[in-house]
Structures are given as structure tokens and as C-alpha cells.
Amino acid sequence: MVRFQVDLDQFEGPLDLMLHLIKEKKLDLFNLEVDVLIDQYIDFIHGLETTQLEIASEYLVELATLIEYKSKKCLPVSDLGLDVADYEKDTKDELVRRLIEYQKFKDITQKLQVRFEERQLQMDKPSDSLYLNEIDDQYHYYESDVYELIKAMEKCIARFHLSHPSQVQFTKNEISLEDRMDQLYHMISADQMLYDFEDFIKDIGSLNLFIVSFLAILELVRQGILGIESVSDQKITLKLGEKYGKPE
């Protein structure tokens, strides 16, 4: 026999479970054989007791009601038994009424879910706070709770994300001093000529590269590989140094 593999977690509550049982046993909700349903329900809960340590109290409350109903039915109907008959009928009607009511909301929930999911895909733009400042000023201060703060915070975060496109990337292209010295050495040794210092640095895009270049030039000058010449109009030129050779 296939083990009955159903977990309470998949139900929203005892009513949901009952609707599931009705569907599974192909019972008619509108002409409900309550006894069959009750037996199914009781069996189900009993079946779970061995495998699931905790059964939510709601299921047990419902179970107790059903067992009470069943036991009352077993009592012989005395001459004064009108009360019992009424009780039976009331309990049954009440159960059916609740099941039908719950089924309605289960159905409508599916429709709402569709609307909800579509709305999730539709975006709107934050109102232009720049222009709306005047309106904001008219808001009165009022007593608030922590949830208001959470809501406000979420709104801020959402706006922050919107204003920071993911495409913006900050990448650091770092080059070591040694590599830069090598580069400069190769440039100069290939051309064997004077460089205007300003020309030399004009293509440098980042501050980082600029600093490394500057340090590289200083180091090359210190080692005598590069020479510096300054002419009258404060123009600085780079030339090959006295100890021209590969940097150390």
C-alpha cells in the first residue's frame, strides 16, 4: 500500500484540509455526507499523530467539535430528543456553511493573485519630490509607530536603488610602479627623443595612474635613466639620462 504522504503544512487550516478531503473523496460540498467527511478527517488527524509531533491547535479544536457531533449522533434519540436532532442539524449546516464560505474565498484568492502578480511587473516612477516640496510642507507631524518608520525606510531604499543603475561600475585599474617604469623606459628607448612633460601626462586618465607615472619618472631620474631639462618658459622636457639602461 502506498503510504499516505500528506503534510499538514500544505494546508491553510482545518477547513482547507476538509475541502481537500471532500475533493479527494469526490464528495458533493452542497449535498455533503458529513459523516464520511468526519471519518476522513478523524482518520487523517490520527494518522498524523504518529508522524508529526505537533499538530496545530486549530486542527484539534475542529477535531473535538466533529467527535462531539459524532458521539451525540450515537446517543439514542429519546422522546425529548428534539434538542439532539436540532443540534445535529445545526452543526452540520454550520459546517457546510463554513466550508462553502471558505471555498468562496479560496476561489477569489486565485483571481486576486493574478492581479497581484501582474501589478508586480508594472513599475511607476517616484513623484518628483523637487516639485512636491510645497505639498510636503503642509503635512502635519503626527504620532507614529515603528512600522511607519520601516515603510519610510523601504521607500527610501527603493528610490535609492532606482537612482543607482547597476551599469555603473567602478573598476580600479592599478599598475605597479615597476610596471610603469618599464613602460616609460620602453617608450623612451623606442623613440630616443625628448618628451614634453605635459604631452607625456596628458593621456593619463586616472589620478592613480598619474601618481604612479609621476613616481616612476622620479625613480627613473634618480637612477639616472631619465634626465629632466627645464627651459625658460617653464616647460619641462624629459630626455634620456646619463646612465641610460634598463631600470633596476
Partner 1 sequence: MENPNKSILEGIIFVFGEDGITLEQLSIAIDYPADLIKILLDELITHYKHDDRGMELVVFSDKYKFITKPYIRSYIERILTLSKTRSLSQSALETLAIIAYKQPITRIEIEEIRGVGCELMLKKLAAMDLITETGRAETVGKPILYSVTESFLDLFKLMSLDELPHLPNYEDSTEESQLFE
Pick from 16, 39, 88, 182 the residue near partner 1 by CB under 8 A: 16
Q: Provide, rounded to whole angstroms, the least separation between the CB of residue 152 and partner 1.
A: 11
Q: Give the footprint of partner 1 on residues 179-218 (CB under 8 A).
A: none
Does 92 participate in binding partner 1 (rule CB under 8 A)? no
| Site residue total, partner 1 (CB under 8 A) | 52
Q: Cα separations (Å) of 74 from 85, 88, 118?
A: 11, 11, 53
Nearest partner of 187 among 236, 239, 232, judged by Cα:
239
Cα 151 versus chain centre, distance: 16
Report residue 229: phi and psi, to 5°. Answer: -125, 130
By C-beta, is 152 or 211 nearer to partner 1? 152
207: its cell numbers: 589620478
Q: Which residue has the cell 523601504?
A: 154
CB of 77 to partner 1, least distance (A): 30
Asked if 100 is part of the footprint of partner 1 (rule: CB under 8 A), the reply reads yes
Q: What is the CA radius of gyration of the chain?
A: 41
Which helix (H) or strand (E) is 220 found in, with range?
helix 207-222
Options 21-29, 67-75, 191-199, 214-222: segment touching partner 1 (CB under 8 A): 21-29
What residues make contact with partner 1 under the rule CB under 8 A?
12-16, 22-23, 29-30, 56, 58, 62, 98, 100-109, 111-113, 115-128, 131-132, 147, 150-151, 158, 161-162, 164-167
